[in-house]
Amino acid sequence: MEMFFSDFAANLGGAKNSLYLLHDRLKDEGARIVDLVRGNVNEHGIVYPPDMLDEILHNASDAARVYRPDSLGQSIAREAIARYYNPLNISPQQVLLTPGTSVSYWYCFKLLTQVADEILCPQPSYPLFDYIARLAGVHMRQYRLLEHRGWAIDLDHLESQITESTRAIILISPHNPTGMIASEDQLEGLADIAARHSLPIISDEVFSEFLFDLDSFPRVAETAAPLVFTLNGFSKMFALPGMKIGWMAITGEEALVKKSIAALDLISDTFLPVNEIAQFAVPAIFQRSEEFMRHYKSWVLQCRNAAVDGLKTMTFVPPHGGFYITLPIATDEEAAASRLLQTDRILVHPGYFYDIAPEHLVMTFIDDPALVKNHFETIARAVSHSGH
């Protein structure tokens, strides 16, 4: 049977992790499990106002009635996205729409790499990268984030990881799952490395609307980096994952930007994958979301503060952005995650799922704000007791 399939297809899957075997058994037995993994705000009642969304989509449907696709994305949508980045002075011609950030990554990988090339990504990492990289035929090589410095980028280690095969550097800020936000100094250092080694930066900013204890958000696109692909979308930003609207904004040296856009135009034109009605809805969603966003951001902050309060007996780096916390523990992480699920019915991930060493748990604080503190007090109690 193997002769029918590629190596990728033939080697999919594998045995299910023991944590998820336990999860499935408990669910089959009717257990109610607190899922602190998914981070889907829709499941906790945070949804874009339905009546307003209905009206926006109705109007967008009228505008999209005659199919006239643009491979970069409808100009009215790209103009709205370009305005979002003011005062960066990004032209609509520097914006490409995609059906989500995962596809944006794949476009970047195909644009920048040949088979067997390398891309640098942060460690802790995110499992999705491995699958996208395999689909693109490239290898991920990791650079460290330093927990004792608030998960700051280890710029020296990053530079030491660059080889003749390196083709790009991925930056994730706010970082998933640590909640780190790269400072201006960190970004300037990263831009300097990128310039000296002639490397583009792929900057994932999907959590950039959710900042804690910060007045402004530093962007690597504001530096002198030679070429930056800034990725974002509606999934996290407006709690609209089902809209499948993502984008990349391409900035840097003019010749590199023009070459990138020309190639991406062709890649996108091959598939034309972005829903036309959703594209025409983009301007109105930006324009009419102020009240919803105030509520949404306040809700996320409430969840974050409750989680940090619940963990006050623990030593950890509080998240400065995003939806997740990475918690160091003094005992075996897989055993701790299994005990929390078996005894307390709370699902969290062991750190090795994200290439974190030695012993950590990873969890989201997205949940009912009234329950978050209690859940995290339970986690703190459970891992503290298991360490004795």
Edge-to-edge order in the sheet of strand 349-350: 324-328, 360-364, 349-350
Q: Which helix (H) or strand (E) holds 143?
A: strand 139-146
Q: Kindly report the CA angle at 89 between 87 and 94, in degrees rounded to 5?
A: 135
Q: Which helix (H) or strand (E) holds 191?
A: helix 184-196
Among 343, 333, 347, CA closest to 21? 347
pLDDT band at 196 (very low <50, low <70, confident <90, very high): very high
pLDDT, tens only, 41-62: 999 999 999 999 999 999 999 9
Q: Are the C-beta atoms of residues 106 and 113 closer than 8 Å to each other?
A: no
Q: Is the pLDDT of residue 308 over 70?
A: yes
Question: What is the structure's pLDDT at 388?
Answer: 41
Q: What is the dihedral of CA 374, 378, 381, 383, to 10 degrees?
A: -140
Domains parsed from the chain with CATH numbers: 2-47+291-386 (3.90.1150.10), 66-287 (3.40.640.10)
Q: Is the pLDDT of residue 200 over 60?
A: yes
pLDDT, tens only, 220-278: 999 999 999 999 999 999 999 999 999 999 999 999 999 999 999 999 999 999 999 99
Separation of alpha carbons 279 and 52, rounded Å: 16
How many other C-beta atoms lie within 10 A of the C-beta of residue 103?
21
Global confidence as pTM? 0.96
Q: Kindly report the CA angle at 210 between 207 and 214, in degrees rounded to 5?
A: 120
Chain CA centroid to CA 161, Å: 23
All residues at 6 or more sequence positions from 138 whose CB lies less than 8 Å from its CB, including other chains: 109, 113, 115, 116, 117, 118, 119, 167
pLDDT, tens only, 15-45: 789 999 999 999 999 999 999 999 999 999 9
